[in-house]
Amino acid sequence: MNKSPHVAVVGATGAVGIEMIKTLEKRNFPVGKLTLLASARSVGKKLKFRGTDISVKELQPDSFAGIDIALFSAGGSISKEFAPIAAKAGCVVIDNSSAFRMDDSVPLVIPEINAADVKGHKGIIANPNCTTAVTLMALYPLHQAFSVKRIFASSYQAVSGTGAKAIEELERQVDQIVKGQPVTKQVYPHQIAFNVLPHVDSFLPSGYTKEEMKMENEGRKIMHHPTFRASVTCVRVPVYRAHSVAVSAEFEKPVSVDAAREVLRKAPGLDVVDNPEKNEYPLPLYVAEKYHCQVGRIRRDCALENGLAFWVSGDQLLKGAALNAVQIAEELIK
Ligand SMILES: NC(=O)c1ccc[n+]([C@@H]2O[C@H](COP(=O)([O-])OP(=O)(O)OC[C@H]3O[C@@H](n4cnc5c(N)ncnc54)[C@H](OP(=O)(O)O)[C@@H]3O)[C@@H](O)[C@H]2O)c1
């Protein structure tokens, strides 16, 4: 891999794409050249990188000549169509959509957990689901120490997880409510302002949503733990940025709160924020725009054998998307 790669961001104008550009800059990723791609709607729009304006170009099948690494965040159908084209053109694709995550030939990577899997790529590497990524940042170190059997979890997912249009929807609805105007809906099936929706992604015949099953399926692949089980309820909340997850985990080995804290304090990419007596615990408002996820409310789960309950928050636009993608790119040029 070129040590100063030509990088493309596909979906550069979106909620994740904008964070990818910022993350490449903030982490001093050695970008040789940056190409920004989006739909025809964005052609000519300019985005800043290292103080320079870069014009957005329309994504086309011939967009990938000379590009070394392409960070894709333009949705699953664009990834399905264009990622194989990009890989064929000799570029390594790091894909944020769910299109290839469960494909056996595609590594699914959280660098703090399974960085070595990057080496097995055949042109496409998948970035995990954002809620799964935030959860595993705390769960995996505990798994290494105590061997997780299963979890029960509920998520509290920010609207930015749905993209730029959902951020506008929450802003607009709050404004409409404050002004006493009728509330309009474009993105979610119900009002999201001053409400919570137990519905993220589409429903499966089992009654779970696709988003809910990503925790078990992607968790198994990332942790190399084929028997891991997860029963999850995913909930959209009127938070702009950062997902939180309440987790009850059951382990094979006996676990204590002190031993869990010790493990979590040493975990990479994670901070323990757990002083309930001082009202200190992870909050999406304060974890937003931070690279590290935070874990707190760590306690013995009173309903499980060898169980721990905890609360983990993380900026899903960063650890659940842009940061994780750039960390994978960093693995590629090591
Ligand atoms: N948001 C998150 O927290 C998050 C986390 C993990 C993964 N993801 C995944 O990342 C992807 C993007 O999410 P997002 O939240 O950034 O969405 P978004 O804000 O809606 O942005 C979508 C991006 O895709 C581009 N796009 C749409 N149609 C296109 C087309 N036909 N050709 C080329 N580009 C096209 C858009 O360009 P225009 O501006 O020109 O329309 C925009 O840049 C999705 O697959 C999502 O599942 C998102």
Tens of pLDDT, residues 22-62 = 999 999 999 999 999 999 999 989 999 999 999 999 999 99
pLDDT over 90 (residue 3)? no
Token readout for 70 is: 């392409």
Q: Return the best residue to mutate from 39, 46, 64, 157 for the ligand 1 pocket (most ligand atoms within 8 A of CB).
A: 39
Percent with pLDDT over 70 in the chain: 100
In sequence order, which ranges of the chain are alpha helices (DSSP H)?
15-26, 76-88, 111-114, 130-146, 164-178, 210-223, 257-265, 284-287, 323-332
Q: What does the pLDDT average to over 170-177?
A: 98
Ligand 1 proximity of 187 Cβ (cutoff 6 Å) = no
Set 6, 121, 143, 243: catalytic member: 243
* Active-site residue, 130 included: yes
Strand partners of residue 8: 35, 70
Tens of pLDDT, residues 55-108 = 999 999 999 999 999 999 999 999 999 999 999 999 999 999 999 999 999 999
Task: Tell me how crowded residue 224 is: count the other CB atoms within 10 A of its CB.
Answer: 10
Task: Give the span between the Cα atoms of 62 and 287, in whole angstroms.
Answer: 39
The set of residues, in sequence order, having a beta carbon less than 8 Å from that of 276 and lying 6+ positions away, is 296, 297
At 1, is the pLDDT very low, low, confident or very high (cuts 50, 70, 90)? confident
Ligand 1 proximity of 318 Cβ (cutoff 6 Å) = no
pLDDT over 90 (residue 321)? yes
Considering only CA atoms, which residue is closest to atom 30 of ligand 1?
39
- Give the strands of the sheet with 92-95, arranged side by side: 46-49, 52-58, 33-38, 6-10, 69-72, 92-95, 124-126
